[in-house]
Amino acid sequence: MFEAKTMLYVYVETPLHAGSGRALGAVDLPIQRERVTGYPIVQASSLKGRLRAEARARNLANLEIVFGPETDRASDHAGALSTGDAKILLFPVRSLAGVFAWTTSVEVLSRFLRDAAMVGVQPGWTFTTKPASGQVWVSGNVLQAGNKVVLEEFTFAPQQEAIVQTIGQWLAQNALPQATEYQYWRDELPKRLVILPNDDFRDFVTFSTEVVTRIKLNPETKTVEEGALWTEENLPTDTLLYAPLLSTPSRAPKGPQLTGQQVLDEIKNLKLTRIQLGGNETIGRGSVYLQFT
């Protein structure tokens, strides 16, 4: 039984490639996605593995109590920390006015409310309706070009709704990094938040991710080696993800018998902020900023 719970927010600072392996589609190396919705995720195993690596690098004394023993001793006991998948909450999309918008949907926000309730977080908003087809909810006119909102090449009719400002302010105060360098972005979020129809949000997170083409050069001739060209998908900068963290008391038969809250405190006390997540670390991918509740 989980004794303590918290929410971890993951803000993407450089394009993030949490890969799912090679695929037969248009993109050779796609990102991880939910099977049913197609929404981007970072699988729990990837996130937990990175947290463990950061804890090890900082010489966490109770590493195996929190995360479990090494693979060759995995049968000894389980770790006390349970990490959920990092799910999409806000997705940046190019905007004709305002440079870009943070997009989300009633479905995504409602899923977040459900997950937030699981860890004891109560954002305080509810939905009784949702945007109609071809319509978006906004808080003001920052993103309006004329009387329309244009995202990528798609045009929507804006409708100002007070709940957008409410959600934007809550996310700015609770989910975005609270560091000084993020003050501008916290101020901008309520102005640039767009709530899309569910289908349109799904389409943007499916077709508007960052896809790059990479090559391998022959070091002698400086030409592309045969067959050494591939495409790679990334979550774009300024994406916001969230993941529930849950903990039990220590399961280790030896060592300190930590409570569930003490297990979470072990993680929080590491004061992790910027870490690298996903692949391609040596070419600058996957810098993320962590915000714990």
The single-letter DSSP state of residue 157 is E
DSSP element (H, E) containing 162: helix 162-174
pLDDT over 80 (residue 217): no
Residue with tokens 């109590």, as numbered in its chain: 65
Based on the fold, state whether residues 269 and 250 are members of the same structural domain.
Answer: yes
Sign of the alpha-carbon dihedral angle for 196, 199, 203, 205: positive
What's the pTM?
Answer: 0.94
Is 193 within a domain?
yes
The single-letter DSSP state of residue 182 is G
Is 137 within a domain?
yes
Confidence label for 68 from pLDDT (cuts 50, 70 and 90): confident
> Could you give the 3-state DSSP secondary structure of residue 192?
helix
DSSP element (H, E) containing 149: strand 148-151
Based on the fold, state whether residues 97 and 71 are members of the same structural domain.
Answer: no
The single-letter DSSP state of residue 286 is -
Of 75-79, 102-106, 135-139, 143-147, the one with minimum mean pLDDT is: 75-79
Is 149 within a domain?
yes
Is 219 within a domain?
no
Is 220 within a domain?
no
* Span 241-252, average pLDDT: 94
DSSP element (H, E) containing 187: helix 183-192
Is 222 within a domain?
no
Based on the fold, state whether residues 112 and 58 are members of the same structural domain.
Answer: no
Residue among 77, 43, 1, 3 at smallest CA distance from 264: 3
Based on the fold, state whether residues 94 and 62 are members of the same structural domain.
Answer: no
* Span 205-231, average pLDDT: 80
Backbone angles phi, psi at 206, to 5 degrees: -85, -45
Based on the fold, state whether residues 255 and 277 are members of the same structural domain.
Answer: yes
Based on the fold, state whether residues 192 and 110 are members of the same structural domain.
Answer: yes
Based on the fold, state whether residues 4 and 73 are members of the same structural domain.
Answer: yes
Domain ranges, residue 260: 1-18+44-84+235-293
pLDDT over 90 (residue 233): yes
Residue among 158, 166, 163 at smallest CA distance from 142: 158
Q: Residues 6 or more apart from 164 whose CB is under 8 A from it?
A: 137, 138, 139, 190, 193, 194, 195
The CATH number linked to 268 is: 3.30.70
Is 31 within a domain?
no
* Span 195-218, average pLDDT: 93
> How many domains, the chain?
2
